[in-house]
Amino acid sequence: MFKAVLFDLDGTLLNRDKSIELFINQQYERLFDLLSHISKEQYISRFIELDNRGYVWKDKVYQQLIDEFNISSVTCEELLKDYLKEFKHHCVGFPHIHEMLEELKNNKIALGMITNGYGQFQMENIKALNIDQYFDVILVSEWEGMKKPNPQIFINALEKLNVEPSESVFIGDHPENDVKAAQNVGMKGIWKRDNQWTDIEADAIIDDYLKLPEILKKLDF
């Protein structure tokens, strides 16, 4: 039986696509007096496009929006501050994450998380999902001074959990940063299915977290 299961956050436990749509819709509504010369549809669609599923930090996204839409009533810094303050209120987890984490804990499996991003921002999102209490170790790239797919961040997490790579599984949505990187240090890599990628080489693929215990049993043979 595996001794530890580690997770990515964005796109794995946090449904980031849905969360960002909820946030940017509400941001437009909150700041309507400042953004009303732009249609909601334009603002939302362009933000999502520039955001590139979180791989572009929001200072660049907002600066581009200001330049493209000639926004003069609010600054890039003010929009970014709003994002940092409000995003956590729109965090949506994937179905069954609480039941799944509860079952793993009940089975005495150590739980870890490795996420790329800014420390305080990511921790607030984790707490917003009400899952922080399940995890024995949470590593955020800003605080660690390195990010996935750097093998050392995986090794650091395993050392903190006091488990060997061969005793551990990593679950993430990114084929290289999560699955391949975990496999490279000797862990099993489970891919959280994401429709933007196909033909992923993983030890297993998961769609429904209620099926994780079954997947773990199959991988353990």
User: In the prediction, which pLDDT does 81 show?
Assistant: 96
Tell me the pLDDT band of 195, cut-offs 50, 70 and 90: confident
Give residue-wise pLDDT tens across range 13-29.
999 999 999 999 999 99
Closest CA to 1 of 168, 157, 159, 134: 168
What is the SS3 assignment for 10?
strand
pTM recorded for the entire structure: 0.95
Closest CA to 113 of 144, 148, 157, 156: 157
Instruction: Count how many residues are written for the chain.
Output: 221
Domain-wise residue ranges, the chain:
4-15+92-220, 16-89
Fold of 4-15+92-220: Rossmann fold (3.40.50)
Whether residue 176 contacts residue 147, with contact meaning beta carbons closer than 8 Å, is answered with no
Give residue-wise pLDDT tens across range 128-178.
999 999 999 999 999 999 999 999 999 999 999 999 999 999 999 999 999
pLDDT at 218 over 90: yes
